[in-house]
């Protein structure tokens, strides 16, 4: 059993995890000094999911997936914007 299967135990959750993996490969890139707001990532994910006829799940599920990718949640601009460090959206989503 691979690690995404372990992380998302139920079959429907696994489908979501694999869809998130595909979205991440398509729309994001890992960048050591990069950051993307929670809102921007959520909007990118939900737009991608709907376009590909996938259920977008919840922001909490997306957060679990992003942590699984090794990203770190943080606050930007004096604590007013929640974001993830180590990731950037590809240009079409930025």
8-30 mean pLDDT:
85
The confidence score (pLDDT) of residue 72 equals 92
* Confidence label for 1 from pLDDT (cuts 50, 70 and 90): very low
74: its two tokens: 């943080």
46, 56 Cβ separation under 8 angstroms:
yes
55: its two tokens: 């259920």
pLDDT by residue (tens digit) across 27-85?
A: 999 999 999 999 999 999 999 999 999 988 889 889 989 998 999 999 877 677 899 99
* Cα(54)–Cα(30) distance, integer angstroms: 23
* Cα(68)–Cα(92) distance, integer angstroms: 24
Which domains, from first to last, does the chain contain? 31-94 (1.10.10)
Helix (H) or strand (E) holding 19: helix 11-27
């Amino acid at each position: 059993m691979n690690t995404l299967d372990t992380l998302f135990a139920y079959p429907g959750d696994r489908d979501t995890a694999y869809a998130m993996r595909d979205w991440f490969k398509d729309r994001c890139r890992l960048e050591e000094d990069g950051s993307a707001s929670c809102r921007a990532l959520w909007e990118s994910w939900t737009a991608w999911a709907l376009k590909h006829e996938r259920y977008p799940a919840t922001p909490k599920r997306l957060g679990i997936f992003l942590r699984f990718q090794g990203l770190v949640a943080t606050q930007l601009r004096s604590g007013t914007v929640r974001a993830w460090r180590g990731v950037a959206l590809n240009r079409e989503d930025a």
